[in-house]
Amino acid sequence: MKFSPEALKGYEARARYKVYHHLGRFSQDVEDVVQETMKRFLQAAGKDRIRNPQKAGSFLSGICNNIVQEYRRKQLRNTLPEEPAPAAVPAVPPAAEGLELVDLVAAIIEQLPARDGEMLRSYYLEEKTTEEVCIAVGITQDQFRVALFRAKARFRKIFPGP
């Protein structure tokens, strides 16, 4: 498949715009990613791998997405892991902190609607199975996942977590 020079310039401009969007305008590697995209695009066109020539732009976009993802994976591999911050000395002894947390969770569960509190207490604190919780609360297994999600969301609204 052959493309006119004007069409190739248009495709290159589209690829550059897409790379700018994903990597940022001031990334040092924009030109490298654009060149690699065009290289793979032209190789695929030369081997007639573009099934639908009317959708060559979409094909180019897919190639560009793949190269951007490869670039990001490479960047993640090349970054050095940061040294962990030294552990902070807790102001409260761990045993006392656990008791305060238990009291706080119990108080929050009391503020929730009865069904939500019962579901969270049974499932997480008493470690009952989903079947046991469904029977105790009076819902079906299909409703359990959604009801649990909503109960956790209501709990998080009240909980003064990190």
pLDDT in tens, 117-146: 999 889 888 889 999 999 999 999 889 989
Q: Which regions of the chain carry the CATH code 1.10.1740?
A: 5-78
User: In sequence order, what are the residues at sequence separation of 6 or more whose Cβ sits closer than 8 angstroms to the Cβ of residue 46?
Assistant: 1
Query: CA torsion sign, 90 to 93 to 99 to 100?
Result: negative
Higher pLDDT, 124 or 86: 124
Give mean pLDDT, residues 78-93.
62
pLDDT of residue 29 exceeding 80: yes
pLDDT of residue 109 exceeding 90: no
Instruction: Assess contact for 106 and 114: CB atoms under 8 A.
Output: no
Structure token digits, residue 13: 């401009």
CATH code for 94-158? 1.10.10.10
Q: Which regions of the chain carry the CATH code 1.10.10.10?
A: 94-158
Instruction: Assess contact for 33 and 70: CB atoms under 8 A.
Output: no
Sorting pLDDT into bands at 50, 70 and 90, what band is 66?
A: very high
Global model pTM greater than 0.85: no
Give mean pLDDT, residues 95-102.
67
Report d(CA 130, CA 107) in Å as an integer: 24
Higher pLDDT, 103 or 120: 120
DSSP 77-139: HHSPPPPPPPPPPPSS-HHHHHHHHHHHHHHHHHHS-HHHHHHHIIIIIS---HHHHHHHHT-
Of 1, 5, 37, nearest to 18 by C-alpha is: 37
pLDDT of residue 73 exceeding 80: yes
pLDDT of residue 92 exceeding 60: no
Query: How buried is 126 (Cβ within 10 angstroms: 0-12 exposed, 13-18 middle, 19+ buried)?
Result: exposed
Scanning the structure block, which residue is given the tokens 């079947």?
A: 131
Q: Which CATH number fits domain 5-78: 1.20.120, 1.10.10, 1.10.1740, 2.30.30?
A: 1.10.1740
State phi, psi for 46 to the nearest 5 degrees. Answer: -65, -30
- Mean pLDDT score of the chain, rounded to an integer? 84
